[in-house]
Structure 1
Amino acid sequence: MLEFILSSISVSPILLLLLAICYLKNKENKESWQKEILNYSFKNKRKEVECENANKRRLTADKKDITNDFKICFEGKNINFKKGLIFKYNRLYISLYDLQRLLGYNIKNRGRSTYLLMDNNKIIINYENGYFISSFKKCFRVPAVYYNEEYYLSLIDICEIFNLITVWNYNDKEILLFKNRREIIRTPREKLTKPALIRFEDITAGDEYDNAEKLLRLRIVTDLMYSKSLPFHIAWIPRYKSPKRGIDNDLSKDFSIYNADFLFTLDYMINRGGIVGLHGYTHQYKNGDSVDDSEFGEGYYSTVEDAEIRALKAINTSEKLDIPYKFFESPHYSCTFEQQAVFEKHFKYIFEPAQGVWNHRPYVSLRNKETIYVPAPLGYVENMDVKDMIKRIKDKPEGDLAALFYHPYKEFEFIVLNKLNDGYIDYSYLNNSILRKILNCLAEEGYSLVKITDITK
């Protein structure tokens, strides 16, 4: 008995040491994958800006794309476009000739670049390589259009180059352009100790974003993220349907001023750090409404053929509209194991748990060894209850990924718009908004927002 007790005493320190080593290794494993994501996100990426899609194709137009349907004003004055406006795939394009005349710049052509000069300002535009240089080099959001030996720039790129804002009036088919009177002061993203992701859910041309005021507010929410240099994800539903109301809105086929405003807003979000993903194709089934209804899985489009067809339709719409996509997300995470295998063929990232695994951290598919399933274990803000989300962030299990999704229309009541006499719309954004509280909590808990593409195998 004594020998047993003595042997137990002598072994106990060894057992304690082994337990301590196991604990530390387990803790290290829980932290290592998070450090890898964070380090990749913040590694030195200051390379020469290359506009990778610039030379993929040159957009051309013909007479049917010339439009007189839109009235455009600049600082309260109607604009007479001598070269005409081009309206193609729900984007407006304006010739550089009309722009320089409107804004008072002088033009000098040097090789492949065009120089716009006014006072001490110099803007360099390179159409072929798809970029402009003002204070820094930046890629065009979409390629310029070439028509009648003249280049036309998209409205979104014009607003980026010359720091303009838009106010849309659908009834009169009128777009008001103003010099931006609000300076966005950007603060650099801070590298803290753990990665986090946020996804703006159910962004579509309809539902909660069905008029100009709502789309303006959505752009303002985007400006908040941009001012903090925070990346965010956009779960975009490419085609909005509400059969009972006779609505079937396909941005690649249905051309209107509302759709132009929505696409302008989506472009705006991308320019401010948004990473787009395809949130199904219609996010509905048969006579159901987009957003509310599901699309895949038992009781909906349930076959692998359905998954293939609808995923390809979403991809084709995105490519036709020049919207870059980086991930896929099944509506309501509803799909079968076999359907996820289909999605893996087309997407490197799937922003949901893997069926049958229900992972709480990034998981590499065992099928193709390539696709990464990225869950959002923190869930979403139900109703307007931010306190529950704050609690979930603070109480998150150590090994879980800090990812959540949020419906940005919930921010709208915290944005107060002020329309001035000349039509310019200013705003104030209340400090007690739900999104601000979430962002503050994440920072206080040591989380830095990252992109889904920062997650590697």
Structure 2
Amino acid sequence: MINRKFFSVLIIFIILFLISCTTKKTSQTDNVEQIQNEASAESTNTKLNIDFNTFNGFDMIQDNVKFIINGKTLTLKLPIYLDKNRHYICLNEFIEQLNGKISKINNLLRIEIDNKFYLIDLSQNTVKFLNNEFTLKKKLLNDENIYYISFFDFSHIFNLYTRWDKNNKIINCKINGFDNTKPAPYKSKINQIGLIRFEDVGLSSQSYSKDYFEKLRIMANYMYQKNIPYHIAWIPRYVIPNQGIDNDPLTKNNFEIAEMVYSLDYFTAHNGIIGLHGYTHQLGDVESGIGFEFGKYDPSVKNFEEKIQKAINTASYLDIPIGFFEAPHYEITPTQNKIAEKYFKILYYPFNDFGRNKADLTKPQLSPYNKTSYYISTPLDYIPIGKEELTLNKIDKNNNKAIMGSVFFHPLLENDCITLAEDKNSAPTFTYIENSNFKKLITILEKKGYRFIKVTDL
């Protein structure tokens, strides 16, 4: 009797286990099978137009850009457009050039490349492939079944690693080009929060900054693979008055600014939060990123609010979501703080209005003014040039876990730690050394075990 009951229970357990495994396997393959089944329904599919002579064009500025993907230079008949510093490319033509197929049924575009299937839902503005699904940044443009897609969205779908040659207006791409590195995901150990911010991000147009955004995308990808959220302190309008440089996205629509906007799109799609770091981060003839902008250097409330509005308008024009504001060099008056609180819920700098020793270093500090905005300090400070090892050792030895693990980092410090190269097919690739300053910082913070968050989580 006991044996019969035992075997009955055992058989039931085995059946339930097999059902569980089958269900799990089915759920993992549902999306793939759905895409394959729908894509194979040739009788109901409409093959999209590749007779490009019927194309009427769009009312946008054309940009003479050459694209190379996996070492193949694309031979394009249709124009590349540049609208508000975003490139738009013909999806039909790019898929054809990559030896793929594209068809349409109802509001779905089906793409097949290298036996992989992708579905673009035109009504929902989403894309689905394998077990992934995300919303496209921009809606597709359509003229007689010839579809244009923003280059960033195309890049996001096919996981492109891109290199922008500003001198020759070439975008050299590699599909799945970020897959040469797979760092272990970050694991938190304590409840105290941590925050990381990349400082003074902007388009300087200096010779030393030629590879700036490519290397910053590599760093952002590292953070994305580590599953650590990060913040970008963006200078919307970068000026160097004595060199005649004024990179104002509101008045200029060009290849160089387009890479910056592409990078901002990349950050927001890969676990990053963009914030406004002033407007120009300078005064007078001083270069952006170096000079002060507010506070005792310009206490005018009128000038402050005008610049805040210009910065917000720039982000809105470019369709860049903004999650915080940071006063350049943390210099701001109490009256200017009250104005900032009208526009932002997160002020990513210490609240020093009652004295520097009164800023809360243990947690985000609720404003005593509007009772809704939060100020966030960076008690771990930053890593200055020339003092990298000294500062890293100081952070490593700081065992005060009552304070937030909040720190900011200047991306240019990693310049010599990232090497850009090409593979045997002349596609872009890179190496990122393990003992870089930034990776050392992450290792130290991971050893302490902070729980990293986005400021928007507040």
- Using structure 2 for the length normalisation, give the TM-score: 0.80
1:281-292 matches, within 5 Å, as 281-292=279-290
1:192-271 matches, within 5 Å, as 192-193=189-190, 194-206=192-204, 211-271=209-269
Residues 322, 349 of structure 1: CA spacing in aligned structure 2 closer, same or farther, 3 A cutoff?
same
Q: Deviations over 1:278-316 (max 9, x none)?
A: 00000011222110101101222x222112111111111
What secondary structure, in the 3-state scheme, does the structure 1 residue paired with 2:431 have? strand
Residues 398, 428 of structure 1: CA spacing in aligned structure 2 closer, same or farther, 3 A cutoff?
closer
CA distance, structure 2, for counterparts of residue 75 and residue 120 of structure 1: 17
Q: Deviations over 1:99-145 (max 9, x none)?
A: 22122332232332211134642101123322211120112234434
What secondary structure, in the 3-state scheme, does the structure 1 residue paired with 2:287 have? coil
Bigger Cα displacement from structure 2, 346-355 vs 150-159: 150-159
What secondary structure, in the 3-state scheme, does the structure 2 residue paired with 1:166 have? strand
1:404-423 matches, within 5 Å, as 404-420=407-423, 422-423=425-426
Residues 189, 130 of structure 1: CA spacing in aligned structure 2 closer, same or farther, 3 A cutoff?
farther
CA distance, structure 1, for counterparts of residue 391 and residue 108 of structure 2: 54
391, 395, 414: which is aligned to 1:392?
A: 395
Same amino acid, percent of matched pairs: 32
* 2:435 is aligned with 1:438: no
CA distance, structure 1, for counterparts of residue 370 and residue 67 of structure 2: 51
CA distance, structure 1, for counterparts of residue 226 and residue 371 of structure 2: 35
CA distance, structure 2, for counterparts of residue 147 and residue 90 of structure 1: 21
- Using structure 1 for the length normalisation, give the TM-score: 0.80
* 2:175 is aligned with 1:179: yes
Q: Deviations over 1:326-373 (max 9, x none)?
A: 000000011110001111011110001113242323111122111011
CA distance, structure 2, for counterparts of residue 210 and residue 260 of structure 1: 18
Aligned match of 1:315 = 312
> Which amino acid letter does the alignment assign opposite residue 362 of structure 1?
P
276, 279, 282: which is aligned to 1:278?
A: 276
CA contact (8 A) 2:64 2:80 kept: no
CA distance, structure 2, for counterparts of residue 277 and residue 187 of structure 1: 27
Residues 421, 106 of structure 1: CA spacing in aligned structure 2 closer, same or farther, 3 A cutoff?
closer
* 2:147 is aligned with 1:155: no
Query: Aligned-residue CA RMSD in angstroms?
Result: 2.3
1:117-196 matches, within 5 Å, as 117-118=112-113, 120-135=115-130, 136-146=132-142, 150-183=146-179, 184-185=181-182, 187-193=184-190, 194-196=192-194
Q: Deviations over 1:64-107 (max 9, x none)?
A: 52425222233344323344221111111112211221223322
Bigger Cα displacement from structure 2, 257-266 vs 176-185: 176-185
Aligned match of 1:426 = 429
What secondary structure, in the 3-state scheme, does the structure 2 residue paired with 1:199 have? strand
For structure 1, the 5+ residue unaligned runs are: 1-60
Aligned match of 2:369 = 367
Aligned match of 1:41 = none
Aligned match of 2:383 = 381
Aligned match of 1:43 = none
Residues 182, 334 of structure 1: CA spacing in aligned structure 2 closer, same or farther, 3 A cutoff?
closer
CA contact (8 A) 2:178 2:221 kept: no
CA distance, structure 2, for counterparts of residue 210 and residue 239 of structure 1: 18
For structure 2, the 5+ residue unaligned runs are: 1-55
CA distance, structure 1, for counterparts of residue 242 and residue 207 of structure 2: 19
Aligned match of 1:349 = 346
Residues 137, 186 of structure 1: CA spacing in aligned structure 2 closer, same or farther, 3 A cutoff?
farther
Residues 386, 197 of structure 1: CA spacing in aligned structure 2 closer, same or farther, 3 A cutoff?
farther
What secondary structure, in the 3-state scheme, does the structure 1 residue paired with 2:451 have? strand
CA distance, structure 1, for counterparts of residue 283 and residue 255 of structure 2: 27
The number of residue pairs the alignment matches comes to: 394
> Which amino acid letter does the alignment assign opposite residue 176 of structure 1?
N
